[in-house]
Amino acid sequence: MARPPQTSPLKPRKQPSQPRAEKTVAALLEAAAQVLERDGLEGFNTNAVARRAGVSIGSLYQYFPGKDALILALMRREGERFYAEAAHALDMPTGAEGLRALIAAAVRQQLERPTLARLLDVEETRPALRAEKEGGVLERVLQQILERPDLPRQLDVALAARDLMAMVASLTDTAGEHGELDVPHLERRIHAAMFGYLDRMESPLP
């Protein structure tokens, strides 16, 4: 039976220090991603992940205290993949260019593995995971960009950031779902929505 967990159910169990361990963890994460993509949330289970990783179920539990920890780690992995590109947006000379760079990064990430990205987004709202997941990189970067002087001033920057993030995610998600491949066209539509939103929501100077 599922006894009460003896360790935090979400923190990774051990830092893989040896290279072999690191490879196992990586294999498990990639397997988790693939199972999620192939079988969806309802087909996602620890046995399937271990099997696909070519690792015993016991080993999975060596590195992850449970199913949710696996998902959380996957979220972090994808978050970090994204960070490399997203941070770069802050170096842009203008806010508009930064925003474009951010959109490009988000679109690229989302379209690369659309199903995975979508399902992780869904999981992200589960209370159990939401608590653990630290506030997204995107959110913080986006807020900074929105404060650049060349962009229309927003009354509530955090709110605007939330709205824009939701829009980027949903537009790329549906594009991904429908198999769109024309990235520039998708970016144009996202720009339209975002800059349209920012312009029309511009707050008069105080």
Partner DNA sequence: CATGAATGAGGTTTCATTCAT
Partner DNA sequence: GATGAATGAAACCTCATTCAT
Binding site for DNA (CB under 7 A): 1-3, 5-6, 9, 14, 16-18, 20-21, 23-24, 42-48, 55-62, 65-67
Segment near a copy of itself (CB under 8 A), from 15-23, 94-102, 140-148, 196-204? 196-204
If one asks whether residue 61 binds a copy of itself (CB under 8 A), the answer comes out as no
Alpha-carbon span 26 to 15, nearest angstrom: 12
166 touches, from DNA, a copy of itself, none (C-beta below 5 to 8 Å by class): a copy of itself
* Residue 12's binding partner out of DNA, a copy of itself, none, with CB under 5 to 8 Å set by partner kind: none
Which residues within the stretch 32-51 sit at the binding site for a copy of itself (CB under 8 A)? Answer: 40-43
16 binds, among DNA, a copy of itself, none (CB under 5 to 8 A by kind): DNA
Query: Taking the complex as a whole, how short is the minimal distance between the CB of residue 91 and a copy of itself, in angstroms?
Result: 26
Applying the rule CB under 8 A, the residues between 87 and 146 that interact with a copy of itself are: 118, 122, 125-127
